[in-house]
């Protein structure tokens, strides 16, 4: 009844008082009803104003409910949706009623969904069968967002499409227009009637609520298979092609060189279910720099892909939910498990062989290798989807010094190949699919080939979901390795989920030439329990998460186990508190000896308490304090603080500071030598963004990390797994050290036209280590390098031509 009354009031305002230019009746949508869209051949200017005549005569829909928090209650304001299509694509006109003094428009770069602001988004299941889809969003002020979707809720921002959208403030709130061309999305080949799935989402910043149609909150198991059904007819997109020639000029301040690079990207979609993309002499100098990291452990840092060519269409190569660890849960998530990590392509080069006594300059060992080209083919034929990717590196050049003179040595680039095949069952009822994924890395020093088979199952109700993958690796000079995992997820009810995962990795499995695994040689069982409650008397939402794991290696040693309890409470004033308690069990560490054996570590407790203010306010701030036990004893403390200032829609200033005071930090030195340290660590970060318009962005970012450590106790790793053996400090040596890294980037980007850009980027990344004392800790020094040494100014112009 409340919903009916709200619609009657909306109708009265629209028809009688004319508060909007869209004077058409509201239409109720029955459960399970398919909406047959009208096909209209009219001219629409995508400017955010719904002032064309066509918008006045189309039916309006307002089926939104509150999905965050997941109360499924009725929203406070009306959202009127109109839509139609023509031979070029889909059109959406949306009126979003809201008091004008509560509107919040904050400009951002593309795909930034973390900012608190008013926005509206559309999800389309273009398969029509819950197989795959795309999402499109507009923030008030015209900041664009888009990406892809896989079953059931695997959202990714790894795709940018050539679609149009615009917003405008109105007397009664704001409005938005979308035009989504058929040619930019994948669709199965269908004659006549075609079904699409659709969902709309609205974020209301001043209420910190998300409203959706249909009402599918994150706390229910199904999404893409439950979207609102749309019907269109005789959609036959024409062949689409685009050519993106570019010129890039780089001034290298370290080598004092100017580099001129000409290349092009190509896009061709001969049909709705086939797409070919290619790049020749690509330049990635304008990409955003990675976060600064100093990682002295044996576990590799995982960096997200940021290069557009490898981001687009990457969803077909996602063989498991474990490949993407982004989550809405408050619980801690681990590293991804994936056979395809495209950051390996054009990554650090394979070092060339040099004479004894000669050394390659460190900059050349960690600098990304140039690519000659890459090609990617993705498509669908009935229930079969497929993808192929190939990439070819240029031969790297190294500056070598033998102590007398410097000279250049050429190395050999690698060649990469990926092939993917996914077979899905007919739609309806339970979801079943099986896939094959193979990768190959070819190099003169040896080849690495990986094969994997994955399977997926979800019951018709969506309550039970099973994902599994088995894989093997074959590297020259290494015995064939095997591994795999199976994950179960069961949704007891809305907001209550239990997960269980079992995995086995033998000691020879190695997929890290083109994929990412945190470790091998393990048998692990892990579980997670998540409980979300909304609309409580004392809080708006509360999420409780408890998870843990146990594992042992092939030798039968217990190599890890922990339990983590996390709780996030969002209060009615939109402030929030996060509490985390973790208990790590005593175990053996067989990784951080760097291949020199296993040693015992103690049980440890980690505690942290964090608080954050309402991020929709112009000024917000927060922080956390924590304590943690070290592996051989000793207590360490962490302090985090941040502040964010957004005085208007165009300017954003963010400041973050992380301080760590460690006592008993255990670090491998060399061979069987290991030591504990007292250390001070500081990680500052400053970001300043200004938007001249939604299409022009100026951004300044500086990040740093510094560590100063003092040696305490010294040990040797035993020959047989057991407790570390105390030793005396070596004769007069000083094991103190310090290491720091700084990254600064200034970026100007102007989107001249859709997918056509002008970039001016200055990047300076320096890795500096000041080692104190007589001992040269070369291993610590080398392990501290994770970001390339750069001092470069890049000017890049890319322009799109095509249909």
pLDDT in tens, 214-262: 999 999 999 999 999 999 998 877 777 888 898 989 888 887 888 888 9
- How much is the mean pLDDT over the chain? 89
For position 272, what pLDDT does the model report?
A: 76
Rounded average pLDDT over 12-35 = 65
DSSP 231-298: EEE---PPPEEEEEEEEEEEEETTTTEEEEEEEEEEEEEEETTEEEEEEES---TTSPPPPP----SS
Written as six digits, the tokens of 17 are: 């008082």
For position 284, what pLDDT does the model report?
A: 75
Backbone dihedral angles phi then psi of residue 520, each to the nearest 5 degrees: -120, -165
Rounded average pLDDT over 496-506 = 97
Q: For residues 129 and 227, give the distance between their C-alpha atoms in angstroms, rounded to a whole number.
A: 10
Q: For residues 745 and 534, give the distance between their C-alpha atoms in angstroms, rounded to a whole number.
A: 41
- The most confident of the ranges 183-197, 383-397, 765-779 is 383-397
Q: Please name the residues in contact with 475: beta carbons below 8 A apart, sequence gap of 6 or more.
A: 446, 447, 448, 449, 510, 513
Q: Please name the residues in contact with 761: beta carbons below 8 A apart, sequence gap of 6 or more.
A: 285, 286, 745, 746, 747, 748, 793, 794, 796
Query: What is the torsion angle, in degrees rounded to the nearest 10, for the CA atoms of residue 645, residue 647, residue 653 and residue 657?
Result: -10
For position 110, what pLDDT does the model report?
A: 84
Distances (CA, A) of 121 to 88, 92, 131, 221, 326: 20, 11, 20, 20, 20
Rounded average pLDDT over 709-713 = 92
pLDDT in tens, 323-343: 876 666 787 777 889 999 999
For position 18, what pLDDT does the model report?
A: 43
68 touches 210 (CB < 8 A)? yes
Angle at Cα 780 formed by Cα 774 and Cα 784, nearest 5°?
130
Other Cβ atoms closer than 10 A to 384: 11
The helix/strand/coil state of 541 is strand
Burial class (CB in 10 A: 0-12, 13-18, 19+), 428: exposed
Written as six digits, the tokens of 397 are: 């050049």
For position 777, what pLDDT does the model report?
A: 44
For position 426, what pLDDT does the model report?
A: 81
Query: What is the torsion angle, in degrees rounded to the nearest 10, for the CA atoms of residue 156, residue 289, residue 651 and residue 140?
Result: -20
First to last CA, the chain: 49
> With 70 as the cut, is the pLDDT of residue 762 above it?
yes
Q: Please name the residues in contact with 147: beta carbons below 8 A apart, sequence gap of 6 or more.
A: 111, 134, 135, 155, 156, 157, 158, 159
> With 60 as the cut, is the pLDDT of residue 7 above it?
no
> With 60 as the cut, is the pLDDT of residue 1 above it?
no
Sorting pLDDT into bands at 50, 70 and 90, what band is 731? low
For position 776, what pLDDT does the model report?
A: 39
> With 70 as the cut, is the pLDDT of residue 388 above it?
yes
For position 391, what pLDDT does the model report?
A: 96
pLDDT in tens, 683-699: 999 999 999 998 899 99
SS (H, E, C) 466-500: EEEEEEEEEECCCCCEEEEEEEEEEEEECCEEEEE
**Which residue is it, tokens 């001070």?**
680
Sorting pLDDT into bands at 50, 70 and 90, what band is 286? low
Written as six digits, the tokens of 585 are: 């069990």
DSSP 75-101: -SS-EEEEEEE-SSEEEEEEEEE--GG
Q: For residues 796 and 284, give the distance between their C-alpha atoms in angstroms, rounded to a whole number.
A: 10
317 touches 336 (CB < 8 A)? no
Q: For residues 651 and 619, give the distance between their C-alpha atoms in angstroms, rounded to a whole number.
A: 12
For position 16, what pLDDT does the model report?
A: 43
pLDDT in tens, 636-684: 999 999 999 999 999 999 999 999 999 999 999 889 999 999 999 999 9
Q: Name the residue with higher pLDDT: 6 or 634.
A: 634
> With 50 as the cut, is the pLDDT of residue 13 above it?
no
% of the chain exceeding 70 in pLDDT: 93
Q: For residues 240 and 251, give the distance between their C-alpha atoms in angstroms, rounded to a whole number.
A: 36
Q: Which of 236-250, 504-518, 697-711 bottoms out in mean pLDDT, i.e. has the lowest?
A: 236-250
Sorting pLDDT into bands at 50, 70 and 90, what band is 213? very high
Rounded average pLDDT over 277-287 = 81
Rounded average pLDDT over 502-525 = 96
Q: Which of 408-417, 541-550, 773-782 bottoms out in mean pLDDT, i.e. has the lowest?
A: 773-782
Written as six digits, the tokens of 182 are: 């058929």
> With 70 as the cut, is the pLDDT of residue 523 above it?
yes
Sorting pLDDT into bands at 50, 70 and 90, what band is 17? very low
What DSSP character marks residue 115?
S
> With 80 as the cut, is the pLDDT of residue 319 above it?
yes
228 touches 197 (CB < 8 A)? yes
Give, for 782, the enclosing helix (H) or strand (E). Answer: helix 778-783
pLDDT in tens, 117-155: 999 999 999 999 888 899 999 999 999 999 889 888 888
For position 3, what pLDDT does the model report?
A: 53
Residue 754 CA, distance from chain mean position:
23
Sorting pLDDT into bands at 50, 70 and 90, what band is 22? very low
Q: For residues 483 and 488, give the distance between their C-alpha atoms in angstroms, rounded to a whole number.
A: 18
Taking the CA of residue 564 as centre, how many other CA atoms within 13 Å lie in the half-sphere pointing to its CB?
Answer: 20
Written as six digits, the tokens of 783 are: 């392990």
For position 327, what pLDDT does the model report?
A: 67
Rounded average pLDDT over 267-277 = 85
For position 2, what pLDDT does the model report?
A: 46
- Neighbour order of strands in the sheet with 397-401: 359-360, 397-401, 406-410
Q: pTM of the full predicted structure?
A: 0.88
């Amino acid at each position: 009844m409340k919903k009916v009354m709200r619609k009657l009031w909306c109708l009265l305002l629209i028809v009688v008082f004319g508060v909007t230019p869209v004077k058409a009746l509201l239409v109720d949508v029955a459960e399970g009803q398919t909406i047959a869209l009208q096909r209209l051949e009219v001219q629409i200017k995508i400017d955010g104003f719904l002032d064309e005549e066509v918008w006045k005569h189309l039916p309006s829909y307002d089926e939104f409910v509150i999905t965050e928090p997941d109360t499924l209650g009725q929203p406070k304001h009306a959202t009127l949706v109109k839509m139609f299509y023509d031979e070029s694509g889909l059109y959406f006109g949306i009126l979003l009623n809201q008091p004008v003094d509560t509107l919040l428009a904050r400009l951002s770069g593309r795909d930034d969904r973390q900012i608190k602001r008013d926005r509206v988004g559309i999800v389309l299941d273009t398969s029509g069968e819950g197989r795959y889809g795309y999402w499109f969003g507009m923030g008030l002020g015209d900041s664009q967002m888009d990406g892809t979707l896989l079953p059931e809720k695997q959202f990714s921002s790894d795709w940018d499409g050539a679609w149009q959208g615009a917003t405008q403030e109105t007397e009664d709130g704001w409005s938005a227009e979308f035009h989504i061309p058929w040619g930019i999305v994948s669709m199965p080949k269908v004659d006549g009637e075609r079904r699409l799935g659709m969902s709309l989402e609205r974020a209301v910043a001043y209420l910190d609520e998300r409203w959706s149609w249909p009402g599918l909150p994150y706390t229910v198991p199904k999404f893409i298979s439950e979207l609102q059904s749309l019907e269109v007819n005789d959609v036959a997109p024409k062949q689409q092609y685009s050519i993106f020639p570019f010129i890039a000029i780089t001034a290298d301040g370290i080598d004092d060189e100017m580099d001129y690079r000409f290349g092009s990207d190509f896009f061709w979609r001969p049909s709705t279910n086939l797409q070919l993309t290619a790049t020749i002499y690509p330049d990635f100098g304008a990409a955003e720099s990675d976060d600064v990291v100093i990682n002295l452990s044996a576990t590799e840092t995982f960096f997200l892909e940021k290069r557009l060519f490898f981001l687009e269409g990457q969803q077909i190569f996602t063989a498991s939910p474990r490949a993407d660890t982004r989550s809405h849960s408050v619980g801690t998530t681990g590293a991804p498990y994936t056979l395809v990590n495209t950051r390996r392509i054009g990554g650090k080069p394979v070092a060339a062989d040099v004479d004894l006594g000669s050394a390659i300059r460190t900059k050349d060992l960690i600098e990304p290798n140039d690519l000659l080209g890459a090609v990617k083919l993705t498509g669908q034929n009935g229930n079969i989807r497929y993808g192929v990717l190939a990439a070819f590196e240029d031969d790297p050049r190294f500056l070598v010094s033998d102590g007398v003179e410097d000279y250049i040595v050429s190395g050999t680039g690698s060649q990469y190949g990926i092939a993917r095949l996914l077979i899905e069952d007919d739609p309806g009822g339970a979801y079943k699919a099986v896939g094959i994924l193979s990768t190959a890395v070819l190099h003169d020093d040896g080849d690495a080939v990986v094969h994997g088979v994955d399977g997926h199952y979800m019951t018709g109700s969506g309550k039970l979901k099973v994902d599994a993958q088995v894989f093997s690796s074959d590297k020259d000079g290494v015995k064939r390795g095997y591994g795999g995992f199976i994950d179960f997820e069961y949704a007891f009810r809305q907001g209550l989920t239990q997960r269980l995962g079992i995995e086995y990795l033998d000691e020879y499995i190695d997929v890290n030439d083109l994929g990412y695994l945190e470790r091998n040689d393990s048998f692990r069982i892990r579980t997670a329990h998540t409980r979300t409650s909304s609309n409580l008397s004392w809080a708006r939402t509360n999420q409780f998460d408890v998870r843990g794991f146990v594992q042992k290696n092939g030798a039968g040693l217990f190599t890890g186990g922990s339990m983590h309890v996390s709780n996030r409470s969002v209060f009615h004033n939109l402030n929030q508190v996060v509490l985390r308690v973790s208990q790590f069990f005593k175990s053996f560490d067989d990784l951080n000896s760097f291949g020199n054996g296993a040693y015992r570590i103690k049980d440890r407790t980690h505690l942290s308490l964090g608080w954050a203010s309402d991020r929709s306010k112009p000024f917000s701030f927060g922080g956390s304090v924590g304590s943690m036990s070290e592996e051989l004893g000793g207590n360490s403390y962490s302090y985090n603080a941040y502040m964010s200032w957004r005085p208007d829609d165009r300017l954003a200033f963010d400041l973050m500071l992380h301080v760590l005071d460690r006592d008993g930090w255990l670090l491998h030195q060399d061979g069987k030598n290991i030591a504990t340290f007292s250390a001070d660590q500081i990680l500052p970060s400053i970001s300043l963004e200004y938007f001249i318009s939604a299409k022009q962005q100026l951004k300044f970012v500086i990040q740093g990390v510094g560590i100063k450590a003092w040696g305490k106790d010294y040990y040797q790793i035993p020959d047989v797994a057991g407790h570390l053996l105390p030793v005396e400090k070596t004769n007069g040596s000083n094991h103190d050290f310090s290491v720091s890294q700084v990254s600064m980037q200034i970026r100007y980007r102007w989107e001249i036209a859709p997918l056509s850009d002008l970039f001016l980027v200055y990047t300076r990344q320096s890795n500096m280590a000041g080692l104190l004392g007589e001992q040269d800790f070369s291993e610590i020094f080398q392990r501290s390098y994770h970001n390339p040494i750069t001092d470069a100014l890049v000017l890049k112009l890319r322009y799109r031509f095509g249909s």
